[in-house]
Amino acid sequence: MKQQSNRGTVTAVALATLVVVVIIDQLSKWLAVATLPPREAVPVLGDWFRFLLVRNPGAAFSMGTDATIVLAFVQLIAVGVAVFLAFRARTGLSALTIGLIGGGAAGNLIDRIFREPGGMHGHVVDFFSFWNFAIFNVADIAITVGVVLYLAIVFIVEPRAERKAQE
């Protein structure tokens, strides 16, 4: 019974994380669109960090701007995989990574479906601008943090656990 209860808790962590990421992402995009002038930098920490509202038809660094519908389907698949994996996660940390990645993909997918020009061709709202790096949003941050955590699990946490089990 304990195993079943733990599995349910871990699944809840993954799904709750996914939902919270989507809510924060969509609220932050709504605020950005409602308050920021398009394509006009609003300095927060000089040129190092500013708000800059743009609409991105592509992926990270505006790659794939002509492949918006392909990106939308990739995000749709990512959300489906995240929900599927949420029911198979074994630890809270793996559930967190699943929720972060799935929530980020879902947040950007919502933009692709509902924002102009719409119908899986919508442009993602980006508004965080660091130095001369990239312009991104909360969903992008969640995906990046989720991937980094996943890699840490695969390459650091799991090998340590295996070594410890062998001792």
Q: Which residues are catalytic?
A: 126, 140
Q: Which two tokens stand for residue 64?
A: 């794939």
Within 10 angstroms of residue 2's Cβ, the number of other Cβ atoms is 6
Strands 49-56, 42-45: pairing is antiparallel
Contact predicate 78/101, CB 8 Å: yes
- Apex 118 CA angle, 114 and 119, nearest 5: 95
| Neighbouring-strand partners of residue 135 | 129
- For 152-163, b/e burial (b = at least 16 CB within 10 A) is ebeeeeeeeeee
